[in-house]
Amino acid sequence: MVVDSLSDERRTDRLFHALADATRRDIVLRTFEGEHSVSALARRYPMSFAAVQKHVAVLEEAGLVTKRRRGREQLVRSNVDTIRQATRFLEQFEAVWRRRIDQIDEILADEHREGATP
């Protein structure tokens, strides 16, 4: 059980590390629109082909994209399931903050009632 949670933590760390870079986020967005070859992606950025390959490798390691070969090309496609996992993770944070906001609302309402009574 500890191993599973550690593994989940590492996956989550890789996921958000991958999304922390603007170029990688852009690659994910582009590949949601459709499959792109690594060379086609590389033409869109002011960096070397090797640098784009490294960005794609980080995304692939995080599970955000998958690659497949077509002849000499490597085609990159977004992995929707991993994005859904990230969304579920962030929804947990949102739930915590919503509970805190509700608690603050209750405290303020109590203080308002106490202040309104003679």
pLDDT attached to residue 1: 39
**100: containing domain:** 2-116
DSSP state of 118: -
Q: What's the number of domains the chain is made of?
A: 1
Full-model pTM: 0.76
Contact at 8 Å (CB) between 66 and 32? no
Domain of residue 69, CATH code: 1.10.10.10
CA 99 to chain CA centroid, nearest Å: 23
- Band the pLDDT of 40: cuts 50, 70, 90: very high
Classified as helix, coil or strand, 117 is coil
For residue 2, is pLDDT > 50? no
Span 44-85, pLDDT tens digits: 999 999 999 999 999 999 999 999 999 999 999 999 999 888
Nearest residue to 23 (alpha-carbon basis) of 61, 1, 54: 54
Helices (H), 34-79: 38-42, 49-61
